[in-house]
């Protein structure tokens, strides 16, 4: 082999090794940590969190999943994904209630974290500091494509972050945004940020297919 070919092969080999190493995720050997699963609606966030918690249960760990009581779309108590996967959950009214009930567990899941107030950030970090594995799922953007609630700060603190994608309801491409609809049309941006709903009110959209509310220009001006 020509020397230049040797060098190319060596570089390619190192690149392949590097590519493999970048996807290896090694959890801390001691203490707790924070995992965040985010993305638009219909991207499988709750389903992925349930999968991780089920594995922890199989490993003999004490597991609990919390959900905000406001989220009763599919069930008042269970966490239920849009695809139908479910897991018994503890519906809570407040962050202090969540913190008090989490103390007896090894792994804590928190679903739809964007519905909690800003104190959930300190609570999640405190649980991790106390040695718990904390798995959080929620929307990273609201229907206006703006950062949603506490999610940006949680993403900054997390040891592990997974941003999932959905399928665009319009073109079938990769969806990273959530479109709110009112009577089949894009919802006005002046509406409330938190409106609990499912497929009757929301669609996953790609960047090109996402439509701004009719009042978007006026609000910016």
Q: Is 38 annotated as a binding residue?
A: no
pLDDT in tens, the chain (221 residues): 454 555 444 444 444 444 555 566 777 777 899 999 999 999 999 899 999 999 999 999 999 999 988 766 555 565 665 556 667 888 999 999 999 999 999 999 999 999 999 999 999 999 999 999 999 999 999 999 999 999 999 999 999 999 999 999 999 999 999 999 998 899 999 988 888 766 578 999 999 999 998 887 565 44
What are the tokens at 140? 């990273």
Q: Give the side-chain half-sphere CA count within 13 A for 182.
A: 12
- Sheet hosting strand 133-139, strand order edge to edge: 90-92, 63-68, 107-110, 133-139, 33-39, 160-163
**Would you state the pLDDT for residue 69?**
87
Contacts for 93 with CB less than 8 Å, ≥ 6 apart: 69
* Domain residue extents for the chain: 28-164, 174-220
Residue 200 pLDDT? 73
pLDDT at position 197: 62
Q: Which CATH architecture has domain 28-164?
A: 3-Layer(aba) Sandwich (3.40)
Q: Is 141 annotated as a binding residue?
A: no
Find, among 30, 44, 21, 72, the residue nearest to 166 by Cα. Answer: 44
Q: Which residue has the tokens 């959530």?
A: 178
Q: Which of 20, 12, 41 is nearest to 148 (CA)?
A: 41
* Cα gap 154→122, rounded to integer Å: 9
Question: Dmax of the chain from CA atoms?
Answer: 69
Q: Is 195 annotated in some ligand binding site?
A: yes
CA angle 101-105-163, nearest 5°?
A: 95
**Is there a binding annotation on residue 67?**
no
32 is in an annotated binding site: no
pLDDT at 28: 77
pLDDT of residue 11: 46
Task: Give the bridge partners for 33, in sequence order.
Answer: 133
Q: Which of the residues are catalytic?
A: 112
114 is in an annotated binding site: yes
* Helix, strand, coil abundance in the chain, percent, nearest 5: 30, 25, 45
We find that the CATH architecture of domain 174-220 is: 2-Layer Sandwich (3.30)
Distances (CA, A) of 58 to 51, 62, 63, 82, 157: 11, 10, 10, 24, 28
The whole-angstrom separation of Cα 126 and Cα 157 is 12
């Amino acid at each position: 082999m020509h020397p230049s070919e040797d060098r190319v092969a060596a570089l390619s080999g190192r690149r392949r090794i590097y590519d493999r190493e970048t996807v290896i995720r090694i959890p801390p050997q001691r203490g707790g940590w924070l995992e965040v699963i985010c993305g638009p609606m219909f991207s499988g966030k709750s389903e992925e969190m349930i999968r991780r918690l089920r594995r922890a249960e199989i490993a003999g760990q004490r597991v609990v999943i919390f959900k905000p009581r406001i989220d009763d779309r599919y069930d008042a108590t269970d966490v239920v994904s849009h695809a139908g996967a479910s897991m018994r959950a503890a519906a809570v009214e407040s962050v202090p209630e969540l913190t008090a009930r989490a103390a007896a567990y090894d792994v804590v899941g928190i679903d739809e974290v964007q519905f909690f107030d800003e104190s959930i950030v300190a609570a999640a970090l405190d649980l991790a500091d106390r040695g718990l594995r904390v798995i959080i799922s929620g929307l990273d953007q609201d229907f206006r494509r703006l950062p949603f609630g506490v999610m940006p700060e949680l993403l900054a603190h997390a040891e592990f972050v997974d941003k999932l994608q959905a399928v665009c309801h319009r073109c079938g491409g990769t969806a990273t945004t959530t479109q709110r609809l009112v009577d089949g049309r894009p919802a006005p941006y002046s509406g409330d940020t938190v409106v609990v709903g499912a497929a009757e009110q929301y669609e996953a959209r790609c960047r090109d297919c996402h439509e701004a509310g009719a009042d978007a220009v006026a609000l910016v001006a």
